[in-house]
Each structure stands twice: as structure tokens, then as C-alpha cells.
Structure 1
Amino acid sequence: MFEVESYKGNREDNYNLLIKQLTSLLEGEPNPIANFSNASALLNQFLDRINWVGFYLMEEGELVLGPFQGLPACVRIPVGRGVCGTAAAQLKTIRVEDVHQFPGHIACDAASQSEIVIPMIDKGKLIGVLDIDSPEKNRFDELDQQKLEAFVAALMTVYKG
């Protein structure tokens, strides 16, 4: 049975505990949808000051909504469009302090002010992206980026696409 330990350390220690919890959740489970579902729930429980967290998965050349926590979202995003599509096209994390200043931003939730998107890559192939939105400008910093990239890397260790 999985138990969530409380986050009592500094931010870096708490992120390390989060990644340890993810690894425990993933152990022995090969189904990617189950793993993405638990990962989004774990992030939603861990992260404060966010209003959406979830996955967009590559399907026939575009990003399609996958497991998430939050309000209903855009279902399909073309690669190269918006923050998610740009991160997918560039195969790199994009951290946006103010989404209203990002050219071509797709507003699925008008409350979103900042965003971070981390590409998920398996064996050189884009699987999808992890997308996290916040109702607060400049919510995500360098530590968030480093640790969320490590979170995605841990998730990709069990991916069997």
C-alpha cells in the first residue's frame, strides 16, 4: 500500500521525497496511463499554488489530452503551438513567467498566469509533455524546473511505449 509521507524539509528535500514516492508508485506497473494518472495526482497533492497539472501525449503528430488534475482542458494541441506545442517542437523545458506574454499561448483556463512544460522523451522519441499551470505569475523557478525534469526522467524509466 502506498503512503504519502509528509513534506517537512526544505524545497529540494521535499522534491527528492516526491521523486522517491513516484518511484514507489511506479514499481511493477507497466501501464503508462495508470502511471501518468498517479503521477498527475501525486504532483497535484505536492505542488502548491497550481491550478492544473497533467499530461499531453503524442498521437498521430499532435498532443492529445492525457491524465490530469484540474478543470477540463484543451483536448488537442498542434506541435509548435502554445507553450505545450513549443516545448514539444523544441524538445526542451519551457518555463513561462507570464503566459499572456507568450506568443500564441492557448488559454484553456483563464485563471492561468504562469506555466512550465517538460517534454517526455523515450529512446529519442517524444512521448508527450508534462504541463503545469499556476494562477500566480512567475510561480516556477530553476529548482522547480530541475526537479520536475528529474520527476519526468523517473517516470520515463518505466515507460514501455
Structure 2
Amino acid sequence: MLNHDTDIDSLPETLEAVFAGEHDLIANAANMAALLFQTLPDVNWAGFYFLQGDELVLGPFQGKVACVRIPLGRGVCGTAAQERRTIVVEDVHAFPGHIACDAASRSEIVVPLIQDGRVLGVLDIDSPIPGRFSPNDKILCERAASLLLESLRRA
């Protein structure tokens, strides 16, 4: 069923297999965080924050202990959720208002999870390498996020 040696090119198909028959957001987000963390090279954190009121609250993740609550509009995650757009940051130290949960993180990509016009949360991936995330990584992460959202629709 699952290939534990998933490569980046087969990540979407692997996610579809993982999500098959499961519609729970937390369960699928947990497996997706683990898969992204194991598959993407040079990543030190991969996970989710879910919108509750006017703040993002920590969800399933892989990596070091993280910030639990992020106000909407603050940091990369809060900004991506508020602006409803993917943000790729080459150097987090240059991002105004960056929230440093792990001092080792140098670059970051955050993809908002938007379903039926509503922001559910964000997918957040960090790397200790500046400029780690390419345009192809952006496409891959947005595709992964859309597969997660599709898994909820099949319920």
C-alpha cells in the first residue's frame, strides 16, 4: 500500500493513497505532515495550524515543539491566512513580524487551506536552508493542500 521511500515526484499519488477512504481532517493532516517531513529534503518542520476565531492554533506536525497560537495577520502563517495566498520566504529573518518558533529555520513556505471561500488554516513548512523553496515546491505544496481539502469533500 504505502511506499515508505516516497520520492517527491510521486508525493501527490502517495497522498491520494493515504487519504483514500479517510475523511477526517486531523487524521489526514497528521499523515500528510509526516509524509512531507519524511519526503522533502532539508526540511526541519512540517505541519498545520487551524483557524479558530481570529488566531491559528497548532495542529498535527513533525519537527521541534512549535508556537501554539498565532494571531491572524502575524508572522508568515498569519499573513498567508489573512491574505489568502501562498507565501514563500527565502530568509525568514527579513520577513517583517516573523515569529521564530525554531531559531534554526531560515526559509519557509505557507499555503492557506481555503474551502468554500473559508480559510480553515495553513500548511507550514520550514527549512534551515535560506532560499530552500523553489517555484516547483510551491506548486507541489499547493497541490498537496488541495488533495487534503479534496479528501474532506469525499465524506
- TM-score above 0.5, yes or no: yes
Q: How many Å separate the matches in 1 of 2:59 and 2:123?
A: 10
Deviation at 1:31, TM superposition (A): 1.2
Mapped contact 1:122–1:159 kept (Cα < 8 A): no
Mapped contact 1:118–1:130 kept (Cα < 8 A): yes
1:124 aligned partner: 117
1:41 aligned partner: 34
Deviation at 1:158, TM superposition (A): 1.3
Q: Deviations over 1:43-99 (max 9, x none)?
A: 011001011000000112210000000000000000100000000010000000000
Consecutive unaligned residues of structure 1, counting only runs of 5 or more, are 8-13
2:23 aligned partner: 30
Q: How many Å separate the matches in 2 of 1:61 and 1:6?
A: 36
Deviation at 1:32, TM superposition (A): 0.9
Letter of the structure 1 residue corresponding to residue 4 of structure 2? V
SS at match of 2:151: coil
RMSD over aligned Cα atoms: 1.3
2:152 aligned partner: 159
2:99 aligned partner: 106
TM score, norm. by length of structure 1: 0.92
1:2 aligned partner: 2
Deviation at 1:2, TM superposition (A): 2.7
Q: Deviations over 1:110-143 (max 9, x none)?
A: 0000000000011110010000000010000100
SS at match of 1:156: helix
1:60 aligned partner: 53
Number of aligned pairs? 154
Consecutive unaligned residues of structure 2, counting only runs of 5 or more, are none
Q: How many Å separate the matches in 1 of 2:82 and 2:53?
A: 14
SS at match of 1:19: helix
Deviation at 1:156, TM superposition (A): 0.6
Mapped contact 2:6–2:39 kept (Cα < 8 A): no
Letter of the structure 2 residue corresponding to residue 69 of structure 1? Q
Distance change (3 Å), C-alpha of 1:6 and 1:50: closer
% identity of equivalent residues: 53
